[in-house]
Structure 1
Amino acid sequence: MRDDTPKARFTQARSLRRNMTVAEDMLWRCLRGRAFEGLKFRRQVPIGPYIADFACLERRLIVELDGRPHEKPEQKAHDRRRDAWFFANGWRVLRLDNERVIGGAALNDIALWMRPPSSDPR
């Protein structure tokens, strides 16, 4: 990850870690220190040309928190391109509204995504 990521991206990620939103801070308190299912999450981590809100490298899962700015058409288009890049590079992306985090439902959503895919043909 680090080899091809510009130094400026790491500086930007560090700034984002220092200035998290309320929802990001709430979720980070639940994920940090392997507190969630023993999995290690990183916050505001540079991956390729982007910075992921939260990433579990072991499960190749990115968790993105979406607030009001993500409702704008141009931001939705950017998010689609971003998600496509992550997918093409072997990542899954779970997008959660900030309200789900603040309301306490985000951990259930993440737990569902952490389950291995079912081989049940139903």
Structure 2
Amino acid sequence: MQWLLPARSGGGGPCKRSTRKRVRKAWWRGRVRAPLLTFKRARALRRKMTLPEAILWRRIRRGQLAGLQFRRQHPIGPYILDFFCAASRVALEIDGAAHDSEVQFEHDQRRDAWLASEGIQVLRVAAAEILRDESLDHVLSHIAQVAAPSTAFGGPPPPQAGEEP
């Protein structure tokens, strides 16, 4: 353990590692990687949620929606998802007035295509829908329906030819 040895100057204290600023060689992380800057931006966004995000988060956090666990402001690649369910690979995006412009629409299209290539389904919800109490329950039921695990086939697959059941 090199850092426990006395300093070369004879000061008797622990040897300090290099004082040079370390450069991160691996700035991509995880299975679907994200740059360190994206992680920092996501952390800042978690502290400053919009009103529709706060309302939706209050209703879906801690598995309240069909037992699904969502993360908020989750970084994936160069993007930050408003909400993400890792188990079902579903992202929820809250679209406010800023998403009405043509430039933002094209950016959202590229982003959705990239996320689809990573196997992530994106559900876009208008912020106005979340702010209306009567439509929020409908939005939540739609999210639960899309994000819930599929039980269409139910049970194990049939045995192969020559196998016993």
TM-score with structure 1 setting the length: 0.90
Percent identity over paired residues: 42
* Structure 2 unaligned spans of 5+: 1-27, 154-165
Between 1 and 2, higher relative CO (CA 8 Å, sep ≥ 6) is seen in 1
Please show how residues 25-64 of structure 1 align to structure 2 within 5 Å: 25-64=54-93
Shift in CA distance, 101/117, structure 1 to aligned 2, threshold 3 Å: farther
1:106 maps to: 139
Larger gyration radius, structure 1 or structure 2: 2
Please show how residues 1-122 of structure 1 align to structure 2 within 5 Å: 2-3=29-30, 4-103=33-132, 104=136, 105-115=138-148, 116=150
Q: Which has the higher helix share?
A: 1
Secondary structure of the 1:96 match is: strand
Cα distance in 1, alignment partners of residues 101 and 68 from structure 2: 33
User: Deviation per CA, 1:24-47, whole angstroms, max 9, x where unpaired?
Assistant: 000000111111111110000001
Cα distance in 2, alignment partners of residues 39 and 117 from structure 1: 15
- How many Å apart are 1:101 and its aligned residue? 1.2
Please, which moves more after superposition, 24-33 or 100-109? 100-109
Q: Which has the higher strand share?
A: 1
Cα distance in 2, alignment partners of residues 37 and 8 from structure 1: 33
- How many Å apart are 1:102 and its aligned residue? 1.4
Shift in CA distance, 73/117, structure 1 to aligned 2, threshold 3 Å: farther
Secondary structure of the 2:61 match is: helix
* Structure 1 unaligned spans of 5+: none
Cα root mean square deviation, aligned? 1.7
